[in-house]
Amino acid sequence: MRSLPLIFLGVFFTLALSWVGIVLVGHLQLGDLEPASAVLVNQEAEPIAGVFFRDDRTGAYRMGANQPGEPVFPIQLTGSAQRGKRIYESMGCIYCHSQQVRRQGFGSDFERGWGDRQSVPRDYIHHERVMLGTMRTGPDLSNVGLRYSELWQHQHLFNPQITSPGSIMPRYAFLYEVRPISEDRGPSPRAIQIPDAFHPGPGLEVVPTQRAVDLVAYLMNLRQDYDLPEIRRAE
Amino acid sequence: MSVPASIATAIDPRTESPEAIRVRLSEVDTSMKVPGVFFMISALFWLMAGTVFALIAAIKFHNVDFLGDSEAFTFGRVRSAHLNAMIYGWGTNVIFAVAPWIMGRLCRTRIRFTNILVIGGVFWNIGVTIGIFGILAGDKIGVEWLEMPAYATPLLAIAFACTGVWVVLLFRWRESGHVYVSQWYFLAAFFWLPWLYTIAQIMLVFEPARGVVQSLTNWWFAHNVLGLWLTPIALGAAYYLIPKVLGRPIYSYYLSVIGFWSLALFYNWAGVHHLIGGPIPAWLISAGTVASVMMVIPVIVVAINHHMTVVGLHKEGWASPTIRFVVFGAINYTAVSLLGSAMALRSVNEVTHFTHFTVGHAHHGVYSFFTMIMFGAVYYMMPRLLNREWPSAMLISLHWWATAVGVTLMVVVLSLGGWIQGLRLNAISDDGTVVYQFMEVMEYLNPYMVMRSLTGVLITIGHVAFFINFFWMLCQRPDPRTPARPTLLTNEA
């Protein structure tokens, strides 16, 4: 093994192999997923079970089409929620929170109420940045939008101890403005309610900045509560 | 010069007695002096910065209020700053110091155009600095191991082109007919990293792939930065240093061939095991699991080769700072890799995934294995570059004990805590409800997190000792009246 070209060919092809196998084939298999209706139909517009159906004439397996008139999922995030995703990314939420529900029987994701169906690749097709996460210092957030109110989210971000005593989540108070209540206009309609024990003081109010509003909009949109053809929720 | 009969004699230090070879090696050392010192100073500053970031992040796990109102030092950012400072700051700088030097020595050719190497180094460090500031300022990218913002990337690319190319060119200019296993590892690593990084940048940052293909690319990339960049460099360095210091040829040439090519073949498929249970096609997960388990082959082969070379010479080795660190790293390579293979099994992964066990495993790999071998390499390299010895055996000893004990305890604490965390998170009672509430599990982990910070303090003490010793060595003037003798750890207190 002395020849540079030979060593190079070897190291090139070994890495090329895994790139083709994992990334390229993964892309070929998953790269063209589109939003789908809960039930797909065959060419006679009859509902089918799952994603593929057998074409009676040719005998080939073909992918079903979306059911006309039915809503398709997942939905693209827009506006505030879209911007909030960037805040989620820049604060590094991914290092403590996953966004993936594992199947029942593998871990305790269902039992913890993190979801009632497994996450599938189609759930993520609109995510410009897929943040599945690898750590659960905090709960999974795939369906956090279904679990709490906007007020809860704001209070929790302002100081997690308000809603979750003992939590080791950092506070994101810097996303909120603590300011004196205006004497002319009175309290801001956007100010959030803070329990007395955590309130910054009399005559002050806590108003979310645009970033906090966006982040909460994003969190409220984290939900996998729709059916997809490849996976139906347990009845 | 007659051609040595076999690779064994070629790397046997005893055959290097002819003055001609010594002169040539000393030419290599001299040519590497300026870039080597530059990269080492950079690496050390990053090591200290990364340590500070690590301590901040660790303390936050048991004291939420610590720097709690600082946006730049919020946990999610400081953790990324730690990882990037360590991998791209410390790890890559120390590689840029050690790898060309060992490559030059094995190729028996001095490093030419070192200015370009230094310029590349300057760009690299500016790039990493911009990247880390970008992370702290909130421009971080939500891809693990690739957090540095896109505007730092072009600098890093130019820098790598300037530095990495020398390792390949050195091989082209080699004056020794024999090619030793370390040279393959270095060549491969310096080819793999730019490829990995380019693909990851294209598919994740500039033209992000759709959906979970991003996650696949992410873990193909991230696991391979460890597996195809840090690992081959550390293995190559160990392959060079163990026989060199102990004066005994490597145990088996053929095993080193098998070890190298099986690593090249299997390691790069393994990354998918970070996605077990996730929304990824099952066949891909299985492929990743199979590859992770197949990694047992290169690991056992390298273990036999390294440990059989050392066996019987433990007493001599213990006196050498280099061998102490390198053998510690080699032992941990065996341990961490076998553990890693086990962790890729679905049943084990169900417990360890999403817990501190994985964090412990990452430190076991990057620190106990890679970083410790690099420390050993630096202890061997610096006296030869500078022509002077390490000023304090006591500081080396302190560095050794603090880091070896510190990181071992850290891995034990995180593994134990993480394992119990995983078991408790998964525990379901017969009526289908969870046994432990999420918050209960986290509260249970609190003492482990305090212990983790304490082990971090221990490691920090070691780093400070290393830092002081290094700059002391850099600043001292060698006394020509006392002949330089290698600093050994024979009479340590």
CATH topology of domain B9-475: Cytochrome C Oxidase; Chain A (1.20.210)
Residue A210 placed within a domain: yes
Q: Distance between CA B92 and CA B39 in Å, rounded?
A: 9
Which CATH number covers residue A175?
1.10.760.10
Domain co-membership, A62 together with A84: no
Does the beta-carbon distance from A111 to B196 stay under 8 Å?
A: no
**Domain-embedded: residue A7:** no
* The token pair that represents B326 in the structure block: 């390198």
Among A41, A72, A103, give the residue marking a domain's end: A72
Q: In whole angstroms, what separates CA B86 from the centre of its chain? A: 9
pLDDT of residue B1: 39
Q: Look at residues B468, B376, B380 and name the one whose alpha carbon lies nearest to residue B44.
A: B468
The beta-carbon neighbor of A168 closest among B64, B220, B425 is B64
CA–CA distance, A133 with B278 (Å, rounded to integer): 10
First vs last Cα of chain B: how many Å apart? Answer: 45
Cα distance between residue A134 and residue B354, in whole Å:
5
Domain membership flag for residue A9: no
CA-CA distance, B203 to B213, in Å (whole number)? 9
Residues A86 and A175 in one domain: yes
Contacts of B38 (CB under 8 A, 6+ apart): B118, B121
DSSP code of residue A65: E
Number of domains within chain A: 2
**How far off is chain A from B122, nearest CA to CA, in Å?**
27
Q: Which residues of A touch B212 (CB under 8 A)?
A: 26, 30, 121, 124, 130, 132
Strand partners, A182: A186
Q: Are residues A53 and A85 in the same domain?
A: no
- pLDDT of B480 reads 65
- Nearest 5°: the CA angle B343, B441, A160 is 120
Instruction: Say whether residue A104 is in contact with chain B using an 8 A CB cutoff.
Output: no
Tokens of B277: 């249970």
β-strand pairing of A61-63 with A52-54: antiparallel
What's the whole-number average pLDDT of chain A? 92
Are B178 and A1 a contacting pair at CB < 8 A? no
Q: In the numeric block, which tokens belong to residue B383?
A: 């006296």
3-class DSSP assignment, residue A126: coil
Among A20, A47, A72, the domain boundary falls at: A72
Does any CB of chain B come closer than 8 Å to the CB of residue A89?
A: yes
Give the Cα-Cα-Cα angle B228, B230, B231 (nearest 5 degrees). 65
How far apart are the CA of B258 and the nearest CA of chain A, in angstroms? 12
A101 & A209 share domain: yes
Which tens digit of pLDDT belongs to each residue from A149-200?
A: 999 999 999 999 999 999 999 999 999 999 999 989 989 999 999 999 999 9
Q: Do B279 and A119 touch (CB under 8 A)?
A: yes
pLDDT score at B182: 94
Residues whose CB falls within 8 Å of the CB of residue B347, separated by 6 or more in sequence, listed in order: none
Interface test mutation site (partner B, options A134, A157, A172, max chain B beta carbons within 10 A) = A134
Question: What are the residue ranges of helices labelled H in B176-252?
Answer: 181-201, 213-225, 231-246
Identify whether A23 is part of a domain: no
The CA distance from A170 to B450, in Å, is 17
State whether residue B80 sits within 8 Å of chain A by CB: yes
Confidence (pLDDT) at B431: 92
Whether residues A36 and A133 share a domain: the answer is no
> Average pLDDT, stretch A70-80?
92
Please tell me the distance from the alpha carbon of residue B139 to that of residue B150, in angstroms, as a whole number: 9
> Is A154 found in the same domain as A52?
no
Residue A109 in any domain: the answer is yes
Stretch 49-78 of chain A: residues touching chain B, C-beta under 8 Å: none
CA B292 to chain centre: 19
Question: B2 CA to chain A: closest CA distance, Å?
Answer: 18
Closest residue in chain A to residue B83, using alpha carbons only? A95
pLDDT at B492: 46
Is the CB of A29 inside 8 Å of chain B's CB atoms? Answer: yes
B446 close to B417: Cβ distance less than 8 angstroms: no
Give ipTM to 2 decimals. 0.93
Rounded Cα–Cα distance for residues B492 and B444 (Å) = 40
Domain that holds residue A49: 31-72
Give pLDDT, residue B375: 98
Q: How confident is the model at residue B24, as a pLDDT?
A: 85
Residue A139 contacts B where some CB pair is shorter than 8 Å:
yes
On chain A, the residues whose CB falls within 8 A of the CB of B224 are: 15, 18
For A112-150, write each residue's pLDDT tens digit: 999 999 999 999 999 999 999 999 999 999 999 999 999
Look at residues A52, A72, A92 and tell me which one is the last residue of a structural domain.
A72
Chain A partners of B259 at a C-beta cutoff of 8 Å? none
Q: Does A171 touch chain B (CB under 8 A)?
A: yes
Write the CA distances from A92 to A218, B64, B79, B86, integer angstroms: 14, 16, 8, 18
Torsion angle of the four alpha carbons B309, B313, B314, B316, in this order, in degrees rounded to the nearest 10: -130
* Spatial CA neighbour of B96 closest among B113, B117, B111: B117
Look at residue B176 in the predicted model and tell me its pLDDT. Answer: 73
Nearest Cβ partner for B209 among A31, A89, A164:
A31
Put simply, whether A91 touches B (Cβ < 8 Å) is yes
Domain ranges of chain B: 9-475
Q: Which two tokens stand for residue B456?
A: 């971090």
Instruction: For chain B, list residues with pLDDT below 50.
Output: 1-5, 14, 492-493
In a shared domain, residues A54 and A138: no
Chain A residue nearest residue B359, CA to CA:
A135
The answer to whether B427 contacts chain A (CB < 8 Å) is yes
Distance CA B166, CA B160 (A): 10
Neighboring chain A residues of B268 at a CB cutoff of 8 Å:
14-15, 17-19
- Token duo for residue A125: 């097709």
* A112 interfacial to chain B (CB closer than 8 Å): yes
pLDDT for A235: 41
Residue A168 lies in a domain: yes
